[in-house]
Chain A
Amino acid sequence: MSFFDAVKSFYEEHIKSRLTSRVALLFVTGLCLAALFIQYFRRSDAVPFTEVVGTVIVPFQRGVNQVGSFLFNTEQERRTLQEANRRIRELEEELAALKNENEVLQGLGSENEELRKLLDAKERLTYTSVEAEVIGNDGVNYFERFTINKGTLDGIRVNMNVVNQDGLVGLVTETGLNYAVVTAIVENGVNVSAMTRNGHENCIVSGSLAESGRNRLVLKNALLDVDLEGDNTLVTSNISDKYLPGILIGYAYDVKPNADLLTQSGMVNTAVDFTRLKHVLVITTMKEKRMEEEG
């Protein structure tokens, strides 16, 4: 038996049977590593590749989402009649209170307008926004990010603020032609600079893995003399470079002084329920631009 025969028989015995899946594995590994490297070094606003692929994926993603809605429709349909009636009563009471409040506020509003005219103040800037639907998530337990069905074609850009009817949801962190990825403020390591509603005191609220799935943020760096027990409502701060000021974040609780006796820290219950997001608003007015406009 020649050397070549030996090689051949060795190949047929030991290599040939494994060749296909092993080569396939190496091929897949190479492809993935290449993709990861490319994306790591080109993490810009819009990667053309993902933009193109997005046009194919988003309809698919919406389809999957609809299947999900069909199989398991949330909340509203599970609520019993009793609960619904109770809710109606609660809302009626709330409505009455709000009507009262609204009248007072309208008075204050017109007074404010007059005073502004007297002071010759610039027109108050209003925010423009785009409505979007949440169409996908990661299906894992450690990221608080989701995909929405609006992208650069609808004017969405990275760093735009995302809110819903309750308050601040997060920030657009990635865009495609017809989709965008939103990173919620409860994502581990996301910091938002916040202030009390009267705008006097600043602090930092951060998302933490330790509180994942509980709609909670960690509050840090509030000065000790700030009364967070009395007015515990926190809104986005003026000094933040990405978040527009005055958007409701949540309500502070369990605030305790730190050991340094200069600052206090605690927890924040977010105004938004991140476990049940379906529709969001992307505010297309951006903080940086606004600052430029105001000079």
Chain B
Amino acid sequence: MIRLKRFLVTALSLTFCYIMQMVVLPRIPYLIAVPNLLLIEVLSVGFLFGKAYGLAVGVVCGFLMDILGTGTWGFYTLIFAWLGYGNGVLSEKMELELLYVLFLLLILNEGLYHVYVFVFAFLLRRSFSLPVYIRQVVLPEFLLTAVCFIVIYGILIYLSRRWDLKVNKGAVKVVS
């Protein structure tokens, strides 16, 4: 039962994040950036439900972005798989009790993601200006992602506390 609930929570939140990021949010005019909801999803699920779940969600998120996007296949799957797995491993090692640790984790995830994108999508195509990339892409996206992170992670952690879904005890103490 717990497994089924865990699966449902993951599947529903993933669908929600995907639809919002790919279809709904890009249509809002004058939004400064589209928050990286799939990254939040990978981070939260990997962190709450462990590395196997993190990996699976990472692969699904990355695959969805690859097949429905316009880029090279495998590009996002690779980074999201590693991020999901990495967050799962980190959640085992760390006894997290403070909100700021989670934010550091979010910064770490965003940082790794954007280093990856910048190096492989911009640097190799010889069009690079790191300050411009940071100012135009990373900062606006991070602002919105941080806000959305609080909401989505809050909902997920509430649900996993209510139904006792969590794998790592330490992760749940944050909101308690």
Interface of A with B (CB < 8 Å)? 20-21, 24-25, 28-29, 31-36, 39-40, 50, 53, 57, 60-61, 64-65, 67-68, 71-72, 74-75, 136-143, 145-147, 174, 181, 188-189, 208-210, 212-213, 275-276
Q: B78 within 8 Å of A by Cβ?
A: yes
- Nearest CB of A to B57, in Å: 12
Nearest-neighbour CB distance to chain A for B31, whole angstroms, equals: 9
CA distance A9 to B58 in the complex (A): 32
Q: Which B residues lie at the A interface, using CB under 8 A? A: 19, 21-29, 32-34, 36, 38, 51-52, 55, 59, 65, 67-75, 77-78, 81-82, 85, 88, 117, 121-122, 125, 127, 129, 132-133, 135-137, 140-141
Which of B23, B32, B33, B71 is in CB contact (< 8 Å) with A67? B23
Report whether A139 and B136 are in contact in the complex, using a CB–CB cutoff of 8 Å. Answer: no
A35 touching B74, Cβ below 8 Å? yes
Identify whether the interface residues of B are mostly helix, strand, loop, or mixed: helix
Residue of B nearest to A18 (CB): B51
Nearest 6 CB-CB pairs, A to B? A68-B23, A32-B74, A35-B74, A189-B127, A32-B78, A139-B22
CA distance A138 to B38 in the complex (A): 12
Inter-chain pairs besides A146-B70, A189-B125, 20 sampled, C-beta below 8 Å: A28-B55, A28-B78, A31-B74, A32-B78, A36-B74, A67-B23, A68-B22, A136-B22, A137-B26, A138-B70, A139-B38, A139-B65, A141-B141, A142-B121, A145-B70, A147-B68, A174-B70, A181-B70, A209-B132, A276-B29
B117, A142: Cβ atoms closer than 8 Å: yes
